[in-house]
Structure 1
Amino acid sequence: MKRSVVLFMIITALVFVFSGCDALQGLLSPEPVEVIVEEETGEFGISKVKGPSGRTDEETAVFTWTIKDPDRQIANYEFRKDGGDWSELGLETEYAWTSYSRGPHSFEVRAQDIEGAYSFTLIWKFTYGVKYPVIITSAGQSFGVSTMAYCARQTNLEFLQDDTVLAEELTEENAGTLIIVVGVSHKGLGAKGLTLEQEKQRIRSLLDKAEAIGVDVILAYVEGKANRGGSTDELIDIVLPRSMTVWIVEESDFDNKFTRLCEKHSVKLVTMRKRDSLVEVIRDHFGL
């Protein structure tokens, strides 16, 4: 009996001591799963009747909605596109949006009653004209391309990863969207038997071919501030002006380089607070 008590005390002490270690802590008290709930703000309800979601190839999106309380007197409806400024719509409960660009979009609508109170905000999210198949490649052979591929797999996106794909391998049949993940690793280049100049020329040729056959190009930089400057910035300068969209981690734009270049070349810039948000960015872009 004493032996059992002693053994129990030893086990309890070990659990107490080692519960601070990361590896064991994960077993003893697993990380809670974060549940994100979209908070509704507003004083009364509004409901969707019609509108696109996910992927669409329609060139016009029609949105309709209704007030949940038919007795509430509405003074005005407001809408906004892609998180821009709110615009008044009067008492119309339908809106047709045309001439949007390829890629992800959002449409929001809210009501205001005669006393000035606002309803909950409705939001539709949809993606227009995304091109398949998808190829993920590297520009600089850093770890960033592996991060991109890992996140893409989390979304169930179908893609081909080819870190050194050549222009002559790109065809209309095997490529619709080309994701170029920029970041220079001289060790990575060496492992692929490439010099920096050879890598630059490969990327220039890829961009030429993509433009010739109508492939959408996305520049992704997911390494944050650490690998900016020097050779990486040289590759950014090559890829960004010929991209449709740029995906970056927020901190990597510390000098506003991405902001300036995207404004100069009319390229859509998507920023992420953390690299983990890349999964959601991929889902939004491809309507997954």
Structure 2
Amino acid sequence: MKKIISVFLLIMLLGTLLTACGSKTTDEPQTAEEAVTIEGLTEPIAEQPVLLTSVGQSADVEMVKTMLTKSDIDLTMKTTATEADLTDVKTLVLAVGGSSKGLGAAGIDADQELERVSALIDKADEAGITIIAVHIGGEARRGELSDKFIGPSFAKADYAIVVAAGDKDGMMSKLASESKMPMDLVDTMADVMSPLKAAFK
């Protein structure tokens, strides 16, 4: 009887050890490739005057305009801005978010919008103009259409502000981490105004 109890206890002990080893494997830290680290902006980088444009033709651009206006930022808004509109501009602000309705109203499709935006960003980058990408629409501005515009907008941006609900999959955090671009995540659209205003000298 004692031998049976001893064997039973030994089996139980081995089972506990195996379970512990298995759980240890799942709790291992992320590898360097998996880890995503982002840092917020630490000092102002932008100057006036500002050109504000839409990337995707959503109504979010109007909200960004309101935030800049309330912050007493000198700006011109042109939803379909091109390289020709960059004259005397110090900062280009991109309101990122796709809208099929907005694209239709502008008489363009997603590919034409991407072409416009890519040329605009490339020219601004060449001219040394500060580029700020703002994604304020949260989950409502994610999906196949909007996601087309995020990569190009973040590729050469100097700073990004993102409402956290729109980055649940970590797409924008990963892009910022890879390019070592400062990015601030905020809880709500109303919280965007503070870091946006602080980005200006």
TM-score, structure 2 normalization: 0.76
The structure showing larger relative contact order (alpha-carbon pairs under 8 Å, at least 6 residues apart) is 2
**Long gaps (5+) in structure 2:** 1-38
1:253 aligns with 2:172: no
State the Cα distance separating 1:169 from its structure 2 match. Answer: 2.4
Which whole-Å CA distance do the structure 2 matches of 1:259 and 1:129 have between them? 20
TM-score, structure 1 normalization: 0.54
AA at the equivalent of 1:165: A
Per-residue CA deviation, residues 50-99 of structure 1 (Å, 9 max, x unaligned), is xxxxxxxxxxxxxxxxxxxxxxxxxxxxxxxxxx9xxxxxxxxxxxxxxx
4+ aligned runs moved over 6 Å, structure 1: none
Aligned length: 163
1:194 counterpart (100, 104, 108): 108
1:151 aligns with 2:71: no
Aligned 8 A contact 1:248 1:271 in 2: yes
State the Cα distance separating 1:280 from its structure 2 match. Answer: 0.9
1:135 aligns with 2:51: yes
Percent pairwise identity:
26
**Long gaps (5+) in structure 1:** 1-83, 85-102, 106-126
AA at the equivalent of 1:158: D
Greater strand fraction, Structure 1 or Structure 2 = 1
Aligned 8 A contact 1:135 1:162 in 2: yes
> 1:182/1:129 Cα in 2 relative to 1: closer, same or farther (>3 Å)?
closer
- Which residue in the other structure is 2:125 paired with? 211
Matching of residues 73-152 of structure 1 within 5 Å: 105=42, 127-152=43-68
1:242 aligns with 2:156: yes
State the Cα distance separating 1:104 from its structure 2 match. Answer: 5.2
Aligned 8 A contact 1:241 1:267 in 2: no
- Which residue in the other structure is 1:167 paired with? 83
Greater helix fraction, Structure 1 or Structure 2 = 2
Which whole-Å CA distance do the structure 1 matches of 2:121 and 2:86 have between them? 10
State the Cα distance separating 1:148 from its structure 2 match. Answer: 0.3
The CA RMSD measured in Å over matched residues stands at: 1.7
1:231 counterpart (145, 153, 160): 145
State the Cα distance separating 1:154 from its structure 2 match. Answer: 1.5
State the Cα distance separating 1:168 from its structure 2 match. Answer: 2.4
Secondary structure in structure 1 of the residue aligned to 2:81: coil
